[in-house]
Amino acid sequence: EAGVTQFPSHSVIEKGQTVTLRCDPISGHDNLYWYRRVMGKEIKFLLHFVKESKQDESGMPNNRFLAERTGGTYSTLKVQPAELEDSGVYFCASSRRGSLGSSYNSPLHFGNGTRLTVT
């Protein structure tokens, strides 16, 4: 099966501009996650979709970040306006939606990430 695909692989933008990152999960995976790694820090959870619904967005840093998953397929993460501290690698991951007893054991499949540089 095709893996999780993220576009673009790299993006360099100026402070104040807008950037949209895209994630195509593995076909049939209802769960979609966004994570990011700011330079020198840990990989941090941003949010979790189940199909088109936001299940958990507790990790979104502020209202400059907007994630969507219309139709429950691919997802976009928009940063508007971008700030210097938004630089980092943004990862997308997807997993199957298991049964209640095994829902926590579905492995996450990660994309290669989008490296965002804000100058």
Partner 1 sequence: AQSVTQLDSHVSVSEGTPVLLRCNYSSSYSPSLFWYVQHPNKGLQLLLKYTSAATLVKGINGFEAEFKKSETSFHLTKPSAHMSDAAEYFCVVRTDTGRRALTFGSGTRLQVQP
In angstroms, what is the minimal distance from the CB of 82 to partner 1? 23
From the list 13-21, 43-51, 69-77, 80-88, the region that binds partner 1 by CB under 8 A is: 43-51
Residues 65-84 that bind partner 1 (CB under 8 A): none
Q: Residue holding tokens 């990660």?
A: 110
From the list 12-20, 44-52, 66-74, 78-86, the region that binds partner 1 by CB under 8 A is: 44-52
Between residues 41 and 62, which has the closer beta carbon with respect to partner 1?
41
* Footprint of partner 1 (CB under 8 A): 3-4, 31, 33, 35, 41-45, 48, 55-56, 58-59, 91, 93, 103-105, 107-113
